[in-house]
Structure 1
Amino acid sequence: MKKRLAALLFAAAVLVAGCGGGGSTGGGTNPIPGPTQTPAAQGNLPLSEAAGGSNAWVNPSSHRTLYFLDVDTATGGTCTGGCLGIWPIFAAQAGSVGSDNMTVITRSDGAGQQWAYQGHPLYMYAGDSGPDQTNGDGIPDFGGHWHVARPAAAGSATPPPGDPGCHGYC
């Protein structure tokens, strides 16, 4: 049911995005989007909203909390195979462009493009049954610990001394 709803929402978004294409009347220039239009290049950029008692990055369509595995990096993801059944990737839509510390990476296992925050690939957790749940936070699994991906506080680009290995995300 959830997959069907997600597929319908994606199809509706594609249809809506394609509605503004029309033919050219010879002007030769493309209009600049107005202030109320969101550039399509942002794709499915994660949102920051309250989850688990403080702000967290969430999937913009389902509002499911996003997680990272502390041993994953942008160049060497360890969540593959069976791991992806429990921790599905937060895939970047075609044309998605990063912003600040949010980037789009290409997975080395052929699973496509994925969002990453501060170099950590982002995943959802199969144990979260609804929006803004954080049931996967702190789970030791697949060679590391899973943490809710939380926006860094202003001015805290590096983890504080004595950080317990969470790289500022705990």
Structure 2
Amino acid sequence: MRRISHRFIPLLAGALLSWPLSGLAAEPAMEKDGMLVDAKGMTLYTYDKDSDGKSACVGQCAQNWPPLMAEAGAKAEGEWSVVTRDDGSSQWAYDGKPLYTFVMDKKAGDVTGDGKMGVWHVAKPEAY
């Protein structure tokens, strides 16, 4: 049996870490403190005027409430789905509800959009 020289271990470890992890999909958002947040920790919201897995937030609305965009080829899994926006782009949805951030939230954990106009709500997984 041959032993691996200690000088080759870092090379081997680097090679393994750079191995493509295709097939391992990360969820588009995560739960933190009972609410959904994006990869930057920014609060995600749902919009009461959305229906049937379709976003009703377009134009100026989408500028104030940026959609949680999905990359081309993103696939639904579990509670996560992808909805097609009017412009043909893709947006993530949780339990069929499209997700958005809010431009007035300046740092991770801000929830200034919760309850806005009576139609915007923090996305909470247990609520669906």
- After TM superposition, the score normalised by the length of structure 1 is 0.58
Provide closer, same or farther for how the CA distance between residues 134 and 79 of structure 1 changes in structure 2, counting only shifts above 3 A. Answer: same
- 1:88 aligned residue (66, 88, 101): 66
SS in 2 for 1:83: helix
Question: What count of residue pairs does the alignment treat as equivalent?
Answer: 111
Deviation by residue 1:92-141 (Cα, 9 ceiling, x = unmatched):
1233333322211111x11510001121110000010011111100001x
Whether 2:32 is the aligned partner of 1:49: answer yes
- State the match for 1:145 in structure 2: 119
Alignment RMSD (CA, Å): 2.3
Pairing of 1:20-169 with structure 2 (within 5 A): 20=19, 39=24, 41-42=25-26, 45-50=28-33, 55-60=34-39, 62-107=40-85, 109-110=86-87, 112-140=89-117, 145-152=119-126, 168=127
Alpha-carbon distance, 1:84 to partner: 1.0
Give, as a single letter, the amino acid of the residue that structure 2 aligns with 1:57: L
- Unpaired runs of 5+ residues, structure 2, are 1-17
With a CA cutoff of 8 Å and minimum separation of 6, indicate the structure with the bigger relative contact order. 2
Alpha-carbon distance, 1:74 to partner: 4.3
Give, as a single letter, the amino acid of the residue that structure 2 aligns with 1:45: P
- Unpaired runs of 5+ residues, structure 1, are 1-18, 22-32, 153-167
- After TM superposition, the score normalised by the length of structure 2 is 0.75
